[in-house]
Structure 1
Amino acid sequence: MERTGFVFLLLLHQMYAALEVTVPSSQRALVGSDVLLPCTFRVDNPPLNPQFLAILWYFGDKELLRYDNKGESSHPRMTIDVQATKDGTASLSVNNVSLSDKGTYKCLVIYSPDRQQKEIRLDIQAAPVVKITKKTLIKNEKNVLHCSVTNFYPKDIKVTWLRNGQALGGSTLTVPQTNADGTYRVNSTVTITPTENQDNQVIACQVEHESLSRPVQDGFQVVYGVAPSVRIYSLQSQQDQERTLVCEARGFYPEPVAMNWLLNGERVEIPRKNADGSFNKELYYQIRPTADSLGTDISCEVQHETLSSPITLQRKLEGDRNKSCGSHLVSAIFLSALFTAVGFAAISWFLIHKKKHFQRFVVTPIHRSQMRNDDKKVTLYCTASNCIKDVQVTWAVTERDGNTCTISDSASREEEERDPMLGRDYTVRTDTSEAQGLHNVITILSFIPNVSKHKNMEVLCKFVCDRKPKEERFKYELNSSNPTTPEPIKLALCDSGEVLCSLKLQSFYPKDIHIGWSCGVGHYQELETFNERVTDDSYQTFSAESECRIPGNLFTDPGFKVRATWNHESLDLPEYREVSARDPEFPWRPVMGEITQPPVRHGTEAKLQCTISGYFPDPLDVKWLQREAGNKELFIVSPSEKYKFPVINVSREADKTYTCTASLIVTVSGKTEHGAEFICQVGHPSLARPMERGTGELGVTGCPVVRNITQRKKSIIMEVNNFYPQSIEITWSRTEDTSKEKYISISDSSISNVTHRNSDGSYRLISTCKPQKGKFFETDLYVKAVVQHEALRSPVEAIFLWKKGTIYLVCNGKITDPLPQADVSKDISNSTASDITRSPECDPVTTETGKEPETPLDKQEEEFTSPEKKDRKKTKQT
């Protein structure tokens, strides 16, 4: 009896694998994100011995990572949690995913001498970026709108144009083009003709892609514009002096416009609002003509939202033949000689026509240069031409407080000596030239603008020609510009655990600004500014950046806020921005991975794990909830003998955020866990409501365990226990005799199967088979029992030898002792006898029980024959 049980224990020990590896079939990730490729394993005799363990990850045929008793060799972006390997976790973390990471990965686990490998496919996606490049339309004209969709993967994408939410027809989509990083880009266009009765329109370009949970779009409220008119003119002096070219765009709307100078086709400068709401803009270019530069092509290029292509005006640089505000600068050499020859006659002629010549004396309006100078000076230009004598120039500036300053080029040095501040405030430079006996002048006034002096000041430029004055007035408007905040307060983590807060302000004028920091919950406490910088913008305005540091643990209070306040003379009241852990811009919200779980087997422990990463500050509230099968209510899982909560290990990553793995160990029962769902719930100061990840409904399985194989009279009784779910199939078959290997089914009338439910929710089945009836009752033959269940990878087979009415178990091709006799006085269908054999594992594999005996049957029979019978058999054969 003991020998039979020991042999059958060896038989069943080989039915189960020593190592099992589990991975999902595939995983998805976005470009630039981090992803975990789950891989778990379990062995038959825990605890795990690290000396026999090796974990290898492959990408195709390339080895990425290896971990064994000699240490770990890993890829720079790919790691495994060495501590978690003790619990059967070999998952691979891949950081900063790119398209090149797409493909099939292999998780190979070796637990000497067993090894098993599983494959998992990583699919990569990239979300598209959508941008409409033109957002201003012209009424009653065809307008072509362009939408660029970039940086998406895979290739398939859908682009739809919408007007007030309704799809627009007639759009076109280009063939997707490949970017250098493997992502794709496309362009879509649509043509619309807005009319007077189509106001309050919203145009949008909507994109649908498999990387998006919902469509994204770029849109705009329709704004009607006016295209600019462009002209070029020059303010010129002598050939060896600087020449100022002016490119002027007028009457356009809205305000933004781009203007560039092109010299021989290569790119080598702010608008004023008109009474009708449109804008003007001038672009100045100063050049000193030389013999080499004469004949050069110079162009002015103007780009505006209303233009489908830029406007380009071109002219040649031709020395003194260029016009200056309508006057011609022609060489005076020949005329001077002519005047010398005619002498007194020419002077008399000039005196007679003196009045006429004065009427030809022309003064242009004052122009303001928009070119940006390193010294931040504002430059005003004015020219006069066709004067018969030298021209005297005087500038008069009436400042904001009503004081008037008079400045002239000839008197500037004396005035500067008398009033040093005057010389620093204003500078006048006047250049003269002479052509055909007439004098031409260009005069320039420069100053550094100051709001207290120059806001809404008036400038007068006065020319005196032959004691006759002409003057031009100019209203200089220096308006302060409000600071703008292009982005919210930015947060960054420091090694010390502090949070670096930074704010950027743009496009303000004048330069002086005050930025302060404070923080608190309801009551704000002043903070020390860590760093503050003020820099120049490209349009004579300024930008500022300010920083401060605060302890990171203050963000554990959801109501805690950091406030940046700024004050500027353009503002009636100080303005501010705030940031807290609950704001959408807070960068360190926790990210939950999928719950990884081993196969859920009845009567075993299953470890559920969820990795939470990317969060700050450290405190994290983790709860496990359970939803019972057929019940919508959630219950909090509490520690007990059935539920265990391992200590959560928290680690700090290279980006200074935190990562942890929450675990729940469940003692599985088919009665309570089948169809149930476990949910990991995570709370954090940055979350208005907790995040959740669920396992989905669990499918519990229990592997059949064979017990109490006995013989009652001429029947075989076999007990199969601890299986789940209830559905199981046991088939019996036999041979005709011992000389044939073909098995035939035993009729159902000779088989009795009785199923019972155990107290722990699993099931037990008593199967009774009577292999022979009638005249065949004494025939020697083989009998086979096959157990099939969904928890088994392959059916379990048991083979018996019926010989002379005695039944033997065939184990690994060897015939064992006869089966024990069942107690005929006891109903075996309700028995709970102790185990004769029990599998130590829950997942059987193909066993040797299905093989026929390797020793010939005649020889096996001889081994079970007494010496006396052997002698008689030999005599009979002789």
Structure 2
Amino acid sequence: KVSILSLFFFLLLGAALNVNIEPSPVISDLGSDVLLHCSFTVDTPSIDFSFLIVKWFLKGVVLMEFNDKITVSRPRMKMSDTEISKGNASLSISDIRIVDEGDYICSILYTPEKIEKTVSLAVKGNVISESKETDLVCSASGYHPTEITVQWLRNGQVLNDAKLSSLQRNPDNTSSISSTYTFTPTNQDKDKAYSCHVNHTALRKPIEEDILLKKILAGGSIGSTLITTFITWLICKLLFKLVTFIGHSFCCCSRTSRPEVSDIKEIPVSGEDEVKFTVDVSKFYPKEIQIHWSHNGKHLEGKTSEQHCNVNDGTYSVTNQIVIPERELKEKYQIKVTIKHESMEEPAVKEKTLQDPETTRFPTAQPATNITTQTFY
């Protein structure tokens, strides 16, 4: 513990904190390991852990925390106590996945100073092996009507031997299709530009996305007999802004997106001895999501509103609710909601502990001044 006297002198003198990171973005291959560099110095002979807190954030979530010791940690992520004592707060991530992509914040608090710096991580999957048969796959999905052109090009020339898959119908009556170009790369393919060209009536002009083969491993260095590199562009990210099918909008995002979860909201039902509890879940993709409620440990089935498509970024938003009779709500009882989505390694959990219903939860209600409607299934 820090004595009051030592803290006074420390605050008086200051620590002149400096934080350094590496240039962004840091580019990493799928399945590889990466180290996000973050170092710090203080103008004292040694680092006093009593004044130090180190945190790493991604999308507002604390991934790692050091406060005398590692107090928060995530699977596949590491910090070193020993290295932190030397001013090295770097974050190590193993087995890189698409969901790891984003802006990481290295936050250093050395009382009384606090500095935060951002390191961007980009994930790519275009590492292929020389002399190993490789598939480049370009996928377009979520579009309507069905007529579409999907082609592979190399340095601007159409690859006529690329194979087009059969048309697939999606549950929302939109369509999906892919074009696959199979080849055996050599070192001559290094720095060659392969492009996926997509044309559709909903587009103002065709879309063309490029992949540059920057890294070709020596033959045999990867044991698999067939290495498939999926270069998937979800063209529907543009299409869904332009097309609807029988008035039903659909969403598509270029990558998985972690849901944002509101606090649990508590709303007395007017004219009824019931209370509604709701939670808003937003900015997630893909569409499938699980929302589970419990009341004092007892599982409850919630009702989900119709999913809303966010046109600006192609993600989904939804509201889920439960209704509980007032007589079943006791002080200190706990309401909990758990959200599971493929973008998260661990479920998101929100909890609410009930207060005394007679004094805090149900004051005299006034008539509502506005009315909103929402469809639940």
- Whether the TM-score (by the shorter chain) exceeds 0.5 is no
Q: Of the two, which has the highest radius of gyration?
A: 1
Higher RCO, 1 vs 2 (CA within 8 Å, ≥6 residues apart): 2
TM-score, structure 1 normalization: 0.18
